[in-house]
Chains A and B, each alone.
Chain A
Amino acid sequence: MSDLRGRRVALLSDSLLERLLDPLAAEGFGVIQLPPDGLDNATVAAWLEQVAEHVEEFQRTGYEVVLVSDGRHDEALAPLGLAQYAIQPPSTSRLTPET
């Protein structure tokens, strides 16, 4: 049976999810959402704990895992040793006047 998974996973800050979900998906990255603002500390800690469990399993089995982050949870995620994924700036091609 064919399986189309991209074997690429991006931990994505909630603040960036709406803007970057589609571009990341276009590059074959599935997304693990990081906690949104407004949750209490215990809930954030529990959220990050289960995120780390997912990441460790993906890393163990050879998936590419990157961090696409607004910096909010970088310290807590540091033990996972993830590379920060370079966010591409929006294309300016549409702004170039036709000559």
Chain B
Amino acid sequence: MKRVALIAHCLINQNAKVEGGALTPAVWAPVVEMLREHGWVIRQMPCPELAFAGARRFWGVYEQYDTPLFRRHCRRLAKLIAAVVAQEVGEGDELVLIGIDSSPTMGVDHTCSSPTWGGEPNIGPQDDSALVEGRGIFVAEVHAELRERGLPIPRSTGIRHWFPGYDAAEEHARLQELLR
């Protein structure tokens, strides 16, 4: 039996982040180190934003990405994740999912929201975006696809390195709880 971690694409490829979002050149090491420490095998999920909106996409919030076409794109990618999950479950493997809390697409418990973002990209001092509780669109579509196939929803958490006042110790403890 393996322990398999489905992880957000950008955790080992920071190039997939929206411009301005890469906190390291390549890899978010704390997660990789903890996965190794606890014997988890990495399965990198696709980045739902990169191929759809491009490497030069603007920052976006949940409401901007929540279009029927983007949902279909996410569902197509979610079918790949579901196929991997089905295979691993069939082999009796243990699964977890690690997303990116604050992401409009990869959030597990938190996503970013604004009732007004749109139009000229220079939001400036009128920025009303906020972190809110809720799943990102891709993670929601993964859950929906797994439910439709009668597959279990992996235990999950989201990396919060873009939260204001990011608390690395809190995140470490939360990951320990997920991965132990």
Contacts and interface: CB of A to CB of B under 8 A. Distances in A.
A7 to B, nearest CB: 6
Given A3-B19, A42-B83, A50-B51, A33 B25 contact: no
Interface size on B, as a range, is: 35 or more
A58 B83 contact: no
A81 to B, nearest CB: 18
Interface size on A, as a range, is: 35 or more
Nearest to A36: B43
A25 B13 CA distance: 9
A61 to B, nearest CB: 4
B131 interface: no
B160 interface: no
Interface of B: 9, 12-17, 19-27, 29, 32, 42-44, 46-47, 50-51, 54-56, 77, 79-80, 83-84, 87, 91
Interface of A: 1-9, 17, 21, 24-25, 28-33, 36, 38-40, 42-43, 46-47, 50, 53-54, 56-58, 60-61, 63
6 contacts: A3-B19, A28-B25, A38-B87, A46-B83, A56-B51, A57-B51
Given A47-B80, A61-B56, 5 more contacts: A3-B20, A3-B22, A24-B26, A31-B27, A43-B87
